[in-house]
Amino acid sequence: MNYFFSVGVWIQLQFLLFIPVLIGQANPQSPTTSVRPFSGTEQGSFKILFGGEVIGQERFQIAGDGSNFKASAEIRLTVERGSAKATFHIRPVLQFNKSLEPLSYQVLQESGANTMRARVSFKPGKSQAVYETGKETDAREIELKKDVLVLDDNVFHHYILLARRFDFAKGGVQEFNAFVPQQFMAGSLSVEDKGFEQVKVGDQEVSLQHLLVDTGELQMSLWLNSHHELQKISVPKSNVDVVRE
């Protein structure tokens, strides 16, 4: 089975940083789960840590009218680049329907005078993507399944939607198609229900349900409470944790 994954944040299609976000290379497959209609709203914030040190925050909101939904966020990351520090602001907006099928996606990423914008229109057959870096524009097409999950670089609330797609009644190992817009990469990943485990969140040990995400090259853990709300993301290989505030 082929999987895809990338570890890093990119800025203007050029500067690779060290924050994780999924995906690699593979042929899209049919999912192994049925999709439950999405409903409700959710908002909150995540604290982003690297090596135990806070390097950023993501404030997100997911809301809709029962048929179409919007997931948006404001993300701030400050990372060391040589002897200096660089701060990145990322503003993603995902439109999707109640079946969790993406309709459109756009992301703006800024760091000082550097700006990158990506826009994706999801269509039957070939989806269209446009990347802009101020001076250059690059238009591309890609064939994606209508059930594809958008899991973009350093956009952590997207994993809430991955958890929503997981069939907890079925359990076991389930496969999903995924697309990383900022890296223009598509493929598949597996998610396995590992049951409830004791996990340290802040200064407390709490019992949370463990979903293990595996791309074939990298594993990450999603930790959910009894209501299946995402509380923590851990990527041991990258030394990154994302904690619900």
Q: What is the pLDDT of residues 157-198, one digit of tens each?
A: 999 999 999 999 999 999 999 999 998 999 999 999 999 999
CB contact set of 150 (below 8 Å; sequence gap of 6+):
94, 96, 102, 105, 120, 158, 161, 178, 179, 181
- How far, in Å, CA of 50 to CA of 24, rounded? 22
The tokens describing 51, both together, are 């090596």
Sorted by where each begins, the domain ranges of the chain are 4-244
pLDDT at 66: 79
Could you identify the residue written with the tokens 């660089």? 86
Encoded tokens for 91: 């503003």
More confident residue, 159 or 36: 159
Considering the entire predicted model, what is its pTM?
0.87
pLDDT at 30 over 80: no
* Residue found under tokens 């439950």: 36
Question: What's 183's DSSP letter?
Answer: G
Q: What angle do CA 102, 91, 208 make, to 5 degrees?
A: 70
- Mean pLDDT, residues 38-64 taken together: 93
| Residue 54 confidence (pLDDT) above 50 | yes
**For residues 131-141, average pLDDT:** 91
Model confidence band, residue 220 (pLDDT cutoffs 50, 70, 90): very high
Tell me, what's the pLDDT at 29?
46
Q: Report d(CA 223, CA 60) in Å as an integer.
A: 18
- Summarize the confidence of residues 79-93 as an average pLDDT: 88
- Rounded to the nearest integer, the mean pLDDT of the chain is 85
- Residue 33's pLDDT is 52
pLDDT above 60 for 14: no
What pLDDT score was predicted for residue 76?
A: 96
From start to end of 144-184, where are the E strands? 149-150, 173-180
The residue that leads in pLDDT, 5 or 61, is 61
Picking from 9-18, 54-63, 146-155, 208-217, which range would have the lowest pLDDT averaged per residue? Answer: 9-18
Mean pLDDT of 51-71: 93
pLDDT at 18: 37
Answer yes or no: is pLDDT of 9 > 60: no
* Mean pLDDT, residues 209-238: 93
Q: Does residue 47 surpass a pLDDT of 90?
A: yes
